[in-house]
A and B are shown apart, each in its own frame.
Chain A
Amino acid sequence: MPGPLSPDMPTRALRAAALAFAALAAGAAAALLAEAATQDGLHGWDVVRTVLIFATTAWLAWGAAGAFAGLAPRRRRAAPVPLVMPHPPTVVLVPVCNEDPVATFARIAAMDGSIRAAGLTVDIAVLSDTQDPAAAQRERDAFARLLAETGGAGRLFYRRRTDNRGRKAGNIEEFIRTSGGAYRFAVILDADSLMEGETIRQMIARMQADPRLGLLQTLPKVIAARSLFGRAMQFSAAFHAPVFARGLARMQGATGPFWGHNAIVRVRAFAESCGLPALSGPPPFGGHILSHDYVEAALLARAGWKVELDETIEGSYEEGPDNILAHARRDRRWCQGNLQHARLLTAPGLAPWSRFVFFQGIFAYLASLLWAGFLVASIAATVTAPPPDYFPEPYQLFPVFPSDRTKEIITLAIGIVGLLVLPKFSILGSAALSGRARGFGGRARAAGSVMVEILLSSVLAPLMLAYQSRAVLQVLSGRDGGWPANQRGEGRLSLRASLGAGFWILALGALSLAAVKAVAPALTVWLLPVCLPMLAAPLLIWATSHPLGGGLFTTPDETDPAPVIRAFHAWHARWTAPAQETVAFDAAA
């Protein structure tokens, strides 16, 4: 087992700079608010909202610092790391649970072809946790067809657990316990992941070249989005995420992240370090660890293994949620998983940075509640403020009017909006200068896409805040959300379903607006940016689940799909085509 890891000087310096930037920005925001709020004297609510604005601004500034840290491109490698042949035995793991078997096995067929074309001998194991007997039968049928059509017996495997204890982490663990000794490296994917054979080749070479590297995480690009919401996320993942990820990689150093899929692990390191125990007590805080990937990354680092993120590795793909409801469902699971990490903040032997990563994950969800708390505190401060005293001195001849606080508040608002949009505009500027914008339809179209994405995410922010706050409150009140199966490809929502899902947000927005209008009419206009999208929640949920025309949100993988994506579409079309067409396809082949 390797010795403990300690961050190098550049990593330490970058972390310190990012923390200092976040503290400075938060301090400035708190000072501005305190100055504006205490003009009429210091009151309890002023203290509360000053503390809240400090915490929320620190969080925003920390995110912005990550983006700024990633703006400078990486220094180019002299040459890609060569693969030494014969390469170590490697397996691609595809955990599935109630997925569409045709799409899943079409991806596997495409990857199998791509892997062989890259000159690799790599096995692929489908690890099924599907419990429904009919769905399991469909998986078996699809796998039999996959074997028959690819000649994959001996390199493509399928096994199903009847007891899906530990969910995905337990599924992988069971494979390692029974078959891990046969492989040196394992590429862990999700059911909706796709990876080029050349990418896997490059990852094996990187693991081969660095014996201390325990896990190498790629930045998967989102593909196959159709709706406005999905395509905006897909664009954001292709355009903004590489810069954010580069900043993250620089900040995390060798204590990098694991996102649970589209990564390669050293099987021995994973087996030695990542056997996860169930936490004492019942869910949501006890029981099986829900967000296992962050914990596995922390445990690898605890054992002295390097965990690295490399956003420059191309050919790694995943699919994303195509509407707000699917996103909120996934986020509910992530929320519970991240808040559960509170139990692990004091886990023995963890690197300080791993603890900080847990803290970040927890804070990412608490931030929504803090923003909501800030709004409530601001209203309460206005309602409970004493009436202005125009004649504070006895025998005063002229009245003293309270000074206007609008300037400070507007400066504060501009600062906060700046922290949100400046990283994105910086990324746009950098992409325009470096020529990266060409892949996104050119500078003008990329700029248009960035503007619309900012507008859309601003309009949807109150909805996300509502969903996230509800999720946090549910978890804090002890409600276990479980692990609902992914509903991929559900896409378009009906107006009725959108109304059903978003009515509570509409009602909350209407109630908030009515209450504010009654108790603090002066604040009504300030609350409109939050309350109007809430009033339109069902409409927004419905509209964003539908496709968008106009050529916005173009990504390079859309205009020129990678070979493995094209192969997946070909396999999928073949397996979903009527039988006669398939026979004609066979005959033509």
Chain B
Amino acid sequence: MSAERIIDPETALAIEATHWAPPAAPLDMPRQVLEQAPRHEGVLAWLMRLLRPVQHG
């Protein structure tokens, strides 16, 4: 007779045992960069740079 016949599965509550957990073997998982760093200058500063006179010499 198997274990669950001795322990009535209808009424017994299983307790999470330590051997249920997967083996401990840590692996690093670095966070990826998906967003460009925000540009603080803004459109106005970019336009101003465009309008800056060209330096010769």
Q: How many residues of B contact A (CB 8 A)?
A: 30
Which of B15, B26, B31 sits near A178, CB closer than 8 Å? Answer: B26
Chain B residue with Cβ nearest A140: B14
Question: A153–B23 Cα gap in the complex (Å)?
Answer: 12
User: Does A148 make an interface contact (CB < 8 A)?
Assistant: yes
Question: A323–B47 Cα gap in the complex (Å)?
Answer: 55
Q: Please tell me if the beta carbons of B16 and A272 are within 8 angstroms of each other in the complex.
A: no
Binds B, one of A3-11, A78-86, A309-317, A342-350: A342-350
CB 8 Å contact bits of B33-57 with A (1 = contact, 0 = none): 1111000000000000000000000
When distances are taken between beta carbons in the complex, the residues of chain A under 8 Å from B9 are 141, 145
Q: How many residues of A contact B (CB 8 A)?
A: 49
Q: Please tell me if the beta carbons of B22 and A157 are within 8 angstroms of each other in the complex.
A: yes
- Asked whether A275 and B21 contact (CB < 8 A) given A148-B3, A158-B16, the answer is no
Chain A residue with Cβ nearest B3: A148
Q: Please tell me if the beta carbons of B12 and A141 are within 8 angstroms of each other in the complex.
A: yes
- Asked whether A271 and B29 contact (CB < 8 A) given A149-B4, A279-B34, A295-B34, the answer is yes
User: Does A52 make an interface contact (CB < 8 A)?
Assistant: no
Question: A153–B17 Cα gap in the complex (Å)?
Answer: 11
When distances are taken between beta carbons in the complex, the residues of chain A under 8 Å from B36 are 346-348
Interface residues of A in 251-288 (CB under 8 A from B): 267-268, 271-277, 279-280
The secondary-structure label for the interface of chain A is helix
Question: A83–B45 Cα gap in the complex (Å)?
Answer: 60
Q: Please tell me if the beta carbons of B32 and A271 are within 8 angstroms of each other in the complex.
A: no
When distances are taken between beta carbons in the complex, the residues of chain A under 8 Å from B29 are 173, 176-177, 180, 271-272, 274-275
Question: A182–B4 Cα gap in the complex (Å)?
Answer: 31
User: Does A123 make an interface contact (CB < 8 A)?
Assistant: yes
Which of A175, A268, A280 sits near B35, CB closer than 8 Å? Answer: A280
When distances are taken between beta carbons in the complex, the residues of chain B under 8 Å from A176 are 27, 29
22 CB < 8 A contacts A-B = A137-B14, A141-B12, A141-B13, A143-B14, A144-B14, A145-B14, A154-B19, A158-B16, A175-B22, A177-B28, A178-B25, A179-B23, A180-B26, A271-B27, A271-B29, A272-B30, A274-B32, A275-B32, A277-B33, A279-B35, A583-B5, A586-B1
Binding site for B on A (CB under 8 A): 91, 123, 125, 137, 140-141, 143-145, 147-149, 153-154, 157-160, 173, 175-183, 267-268, 271-277, 279-280, 295, 299, 343-344, 346-348, 579, 583, 586
Considering the complex of A and B, which 6 residue pairs feature the smallest CB-CB distances, nearest first? A181-B25, A180-B27, A144-B14, A182-B25, A140-B14, A179-B22
